[in-house]
Amino acid sequence: MPARLSFRPKALADTIRLTVLAKAEWPRHAKSLSAAHRRFAEQNGFVAASGTHLALPGRDGRVERMLVGIVADDAGDGSGGWMWGYAGLPLTLPLGSYRLDPEPATAAAATRIAIAWGIGSYAFDRYKKAPRSPASLVWPTLADRRTVQSFVRADGFARDLINTPAEDMGPDGLAEAALAMAKELGMTASVVEGEALRAQGYNLIHAVGRAAARAPRLIELGWGDPSHPRVALVGKGVCFDTGGLGIKPDAGMKLMKKDMGGAAHVLALARLVVEAKLKLRLQVLVPAVENSISGNAVRPLDIIRSKAGKTVEIGHTDAEGRLILADAFARAAEEKPELMLDFATLTGAARVALGPDLPALFANNDALSSALLAAGLAHDDPAWRMPLWKPYRSRIDSKNADMNNVSDGPFGGAIIAALFLQDFVPREAAWAHFDVVAWSPWPRPGRPEGAMMQGLRAAFAVLRDRYAP
């Protein structure tokens, strides 16, 4: 594990006891403290309010115990406040080594807490030293260390990809990262690049990325026993999005290094699947492009024949993510998966509807949708289901092609984008589409401003339940 993800194997003499409480638990816990500590807490106004902490001194002047207030685990609002309360501790508590007192009573709780601590220890330090190191936690006795390490590695790996500027994370850099991961994990890997895309029918990927100095490409990774059920993971890899000839304004373009967040999600999910040795045949597809401007950039009202054979009229060059995903979906269809998940930073409309914390979930299968939503609540990783409203499909009809990539009006943008994708979903596959923002727009406990994973833990939980080793 990276050094910044700080766990200690056992308690040492300098270890501080860490007691985490919901506000409702405080009166009962206060009675268990010594009279001196109870008086100290009263004088400091500590009542275990969420986000507060208090250091209780020992006789030698050192901190003997740290009290922390947190949202109750059974708050029931699906916000994940309990998890993020723990995730906020590594970088808000004073430096030191802490052990949970009392220890979590179950392996599931111990593992959740350790995952939260690991995720909360993250810092993006590729270009600048982190302001501080995280506090360390003695491994909870019942925690599944292998699961914790796998989740924390995957989360940090994906956030590093998203946080890295486009100068160092173009289509070539994203491919290098994917191929290095494949080599590490023993996955198969191939890349179709540049003019070879057109030769193999990936005309939409080529059209979106052809104006950039760094060639577009389709990255494909594979793993697992060919006799096992086939699962496809597809991630949008727009490494920077100017909007093409329909250029974005400055404010809209500023964060477009994160437009490959979907690709980062599926690569992280693939890591989890392989490390857990799930019984499935995995196919990972990442169309990696830059949507740039030059003399050969794709133009409004151009018509492009997709890998699936459908012709697509370009109603707007800034609706490029769905184009590259359509060609990747066509490649997935060739392998006849029984299940397909895609992640994409696809629409601003989803953000307007749900804000930055809730990814929009679309699915063609009620059982799959229900499983993902339930897993999201269970693993502090919520999503919100949106409808694949069939009457809106006519809004992307075209007079000159099989379909347009946008509608002619501003309404239902996230639904329209999902309906476009649905036209390319492999026949008979259960499919779910996560429209994610992949970015925390303001700093919060455990979630500094920057890259943020959404739907990752929920998706893995569903895959693990279906394809357990």
Active site residues: 248, 322
Q: How many CB atoms lie within 10 A of CB 249?
A: 8
Q: How far apart are CA 187 and CA 271, in angstroms?
A: 10
Tokens 């099989």 correspond to what residue? 402
- Shortest CA distance to 405 belongs to which of 315, 328, 298, 324? 315
Which stretch of DSSP H or E encloses residue 217?
strand 217-223
Tokens 């339940």 correspond to what residue? 465
Burial of 443 (0-12, 13-18, 19+ CB in 10 A): exposed
Q: How many CB atoms lie within 10 A of CB 64?
A: 15
Helical H runs in 230-382?
Answer: 250-253, 261-276, 321-334, 348-354, 366-378
- Find out whether 116 and 446 touch, Cβ atoms under 8 Å: yes
Q: How far apart are CA 312 and CA 306, in angstroms?
A: 7
Q: How far apart are CA 361 and CA 384, in angstroms?
A: 6
Cα angle vertex 190, ends 184, 193, to 5°?
A: 130
Which stretch of DSSP H or E encloses residue 439?
strand 439-440
Q: How far is CA 383 from the centre of its chain?
A: 12
